[in-house]
Structure 1
Amino acid sequence: MSHTYQIQLYWEKVIDRLFEQEDEKWLKKKVQGIEERGQNLQRITFHIHPYHRRAYENHTYIRYLLSVSLLVKAGRYDFLEEGHYRGEAHFVGDRWLNHWITTEKQGGESSSKPLPADLIEKREQKAHRFTYNRREAVRYADRWWDSYNPAYRHFDVDCTNYVSQCLRAGGAPTWGAPNRTKGWWYGRGTWSYSWSVAHALRWYLGGARQGLTATEVSSADQLSPGDVICYDFQGNGRFDHNTFVVKKDANGMPLVNAHTYNSRHRYWAYEDSTAYTPEIQYKFYKIDG
């Protein structure tokens, strides 16, 4: 039996026993969360896409992309949640030995550097209003959720770059170029840290008083399509991930799109993430304009 076929059979068994299986706890949390929110999982499908094989002596490692689609009925409406996740299976000869799946990749360009002091301007300055087209921002988010706009650089950790592109598509104004440690902007071959680094964008949104500005709110239900959620998975004060709100579910809670491990119409809380910890902290930002 080929290694790829064994991976296929593994996921068929997981899907057949969604609520009983314990091997993929992240997926069990996802479907349990759907039920707990009073929604109904109508259908779940998956595809595997092997993309790398590494072998030495009698050991073989197969890396693959797992694509999962969930059709969810929420009240009178249906929506499709989609996601792509990275998996790796370890074989000794033809025997399945171990397996890993990752739904989030943390870090990114300069994510460990101290936050620049001049990323935002003085808080006492008066904020300038701008016109923000939420419909265009969401349209962009859905157009590029699973691909990459060639007008922008694609990053290995791409979540914040993607969110920034969505904001810009809605007309959010940039400022600060060419200083990478100041403002929020993208130019030819260069960009601000706040454009591409999760922690930097969180601090920018929390304090900017010109260009792109936002207002922090206390709960996710206060957000609308076109807004931003920031995630600190470890609860240590350093934010690892950002998502873009594209819909509200039947309960008025956000569904989000994200890049790096690309996903669409995912429930905002990320309790089904392999990066989730009980210490997770969120920041909720309503975009001004």
Structure 2
Amino acid sequence: MEILKQYWLDFFGEMRDEENWWKRKQKLWESRDGKIVQMKGKGRIYEKYVFRNEEKYQYHLHLRFLIKQKDRFHLEEQIIPYELLIVNGKVKEHKEVKRRSMPDGGKLSFEIEAGTGERFTYNRLQAVQYAERWWNSYNPAYRKFEVDCTNFVSQCLRAGGAPMRGAPVRSRGWWYSGDSWSYSWAVAHSLRWYLSGSTVGLTGTEVERPEELDPGDVICYDFSGDGRWDHNTIVVSKDYYGMPLVNAHTDNSRHRYWSYEDSTAYTPDIQYKFFRIG
């Protein structure tokens, strides 16, 4: 579509006055001695509605950024869902598609069972390999959620050998079984607190700085700083200075800089929690 192509040429050409995520991404890498040396984008329309003089499209924008940091290169990828409304041949509305904040009606509470001293060996390589394999697709062995970030991270942890416990009580433990799962498996807020409190099976040790994390570890995000945790990612690599690069679902991302300063959900009040797994 020529009209959409021109929109994005304007957007990435910085012809718009407003601050946008593209400008924030550029500033982010400039502050880290890096530069986006190449960018490619491709749109895929998955729904189209036409009524008289109106056309509405929903599409996924797949972006690839080749980033150079000192003498090191890495490829970052991101999938962003958009909705486009055209009236009488002109763009009337163009916006990112927002998801609900949480599955399961936003339930937050759960219980942590008393520990028995059980331990497990966490295979970080297998967790990262899973995160790389499924970052932009969905394992049919699990349900896909509209807000899928925590479900994805839980699958990665499970692939790394994390043991499940607490079934069939959804407010207890961390588990997935057929058509049911714990809140901590699929709800960002619940997984954040589960990692803080669990002393048996899947456990997390909170650290103060992101550079203390290794591939296979988890970062939790409270975008508004209001105490309600919104998002989770898994560390898959490090940048030139040893800072985490992460994979995530919902807005599917690969090798994204951990801070999410280029996200449309980012606010100056953002809070993070950093968990070493195992």
User: Per the shorter chain, which TM-score range?
Assistant: over 0.9
2:113 to 99, 107, 121: 121
- Structure 2 unaligned residues grouped into runs of 5+: none
Q: Does 1:108 align with 2:99?
A: no
1:177 aligns with 2:174: no
Aligned to 2:271: 281
Out of 15, 33, 39, the residue aligned to residue 38 of structure 1 is 33
Q: Does the 8 A contact of 2:135 with 2:254 survive in 1?
A: yes
What pairs with 1:88-99 in structure 2 (closer than 5 Å)? 88-99=83-94
**Residue 158 of structure 1 aligns with which residue?**
148
Secondary structure class of the residue paired with 2:265: coil
Aligned amino acid, residue 8 of structure 1: K
| TM-score (normalised: structure 2) | 0.94
Task: Measure, in 2, the Cα distance between the counterparts of 1:21 and 1:35.
Answer: 20
Deviation at 1:242, TM superposition (A): 0.5
Pair 1:74–1:196, CA change in 2 (3 A)? same
2: CA distance, partners of 1:227 / 1:201? 13
Q: CA deviation at 1:127?
A: 4.5
Counterpart CA distance in 2 for 1:106 and 1:76 is 41
Provide the C-alpha distance between the structure 2 equivalents of 1:34 and 1:21, rounded to a whole number of angstroms.
Answer: 20
Change (3 A) 1:214 1:127: farther
Q: Indicate conservation of the 8 Å contact 1:160/1:195, yes or no.
A: yes
SS at match of 1:85: strand
| 3-state DSSP of counterpart to 1:49 | strand
In structure 2, the CA distance between the partners of 1:106 and 1:134, relative to structure 1 (3 Å rule), is: farther
Q: Secondary structure of 2:25's partner?
A: helix
Assess if the C-alpha contact under 8 Å between 1:105 and 1:261 holds in 2. Answer: no
Q: Distance in 1 between matches of 2:136 and 2:74?
A: 17
Identity of aligned residues (%): 50
Match of 1:76 in 2: 71
**Aligned counterparts of 1:257 and 1:22: Cα–Cα separation in 2:** 30
2 CA distance for matches of 1:42 and 1:121? 50
| Counterpart residue number, 1:10 | 7
CA distance in structure 1 between the aligned counterparts of 2:242 and 2:176, rounded to whole angstroms: 33
Kept after mapping to 1: 8 A contact 2:108/2:189: no
Q: What residue identity is the alignment partner of 2:101?
A: G
Alignment-derived partner of residue 215 in structure 1: 205
CA RMSD in angstroms, aligned pairs only: 1.7
- Tell whether the 8 Å contact from 1:180 to 1:193 is kept in structure 2 after alignment: yes
Any gaps of 5 or more consecutive residues in structure 1?
Answer: none
Tell me the CA shift for residue 121 of structure 1. Answer: 2.7
State the shift of 1:232 in Å: 0.7
TM-score after normalising by structure 1: 0.91
Q: Which amino acid aligns with 2:22?
A: L
The CA distance in 2 between the partners of 1:64 and 1:8, in whole Å, is: 13
Superposed displacement of residue 275, structure 1: 0.7
Cα distance in 2 between the residues matched to 1:237 and 1:281:
9
Q: Return the offset for 1:192.
A: 0.9
Structure 1 residues 51-104: Cα deviation after superposition (integer angstroms, max 9, x where no partner): 2223445333222111110001123321100000011222221112232125x7
1:59 aligns with 2:54: yes
* Structure 2 residue identity aligned to 1:13: D
Structure 1 segments of 4+ aligned residues over 4 angstroms from their partners: none
- Count, aligned residues: 278
CA deviation vs aligned residue, 1:29-63 (integer Å, no higher than 9, x gap): 11221111101212001111122223445333222
